Amino acid sequence: MHINRKIEQFLRLHNMAPTTFGRRVARDPRLVLDMRNGRCLRPAMVLKAEAFMAAYERDLELLNLREAA
C-alpha cells in the first residue's frame, strides 16, 4: 500500500488532524497537506512516518489493555 494511503487511513482511524501528524513525524505541519498536493516523501521520511504510526497504535493498544485490567 502506498504511504499516502496509509497516512490517510491512519488519520481517519485515529481522528488526527493532518497538521498534528506532520508536526509529530517531521516537525512540519504542512507535511500531509503538501503530500496531498503532490509532494513525494523521501525513503527516510517514509520510515519515520511508518514508525510513528506503528508506535502510536502500539501505545494505544497498551493503554486499552491497562484500562481493561
**Cα–Cα distance, 5 to 2 (Å, whole number):** 5
pLDDT, position 64: 85
Question: What letter represents residue 61's amino acid?
Answer: E
pTM for the full model? 0.90
Asked if residues 49 and 25 have their Cβ atoms less than 8 Å apart, the reply is yes
What domain count does the chain have? 1
Which range of residues forms the domain containing residue 48? 3-68
Task: Taking the CA atoms of 4, 7, 13 and 18 in sequence, report the sign of the dihedral they define.
Answer: negative
Question: What letter represents residue 57's amino acid?
Answer: E
Q: What is the mean pLDDT of each run of 10 residues along the chain (69 residues)?
A: 95 98 98 97 98 96 82
In the numeric block, the cell 481517519 is attached to 12
pLDDT, position 5: 97
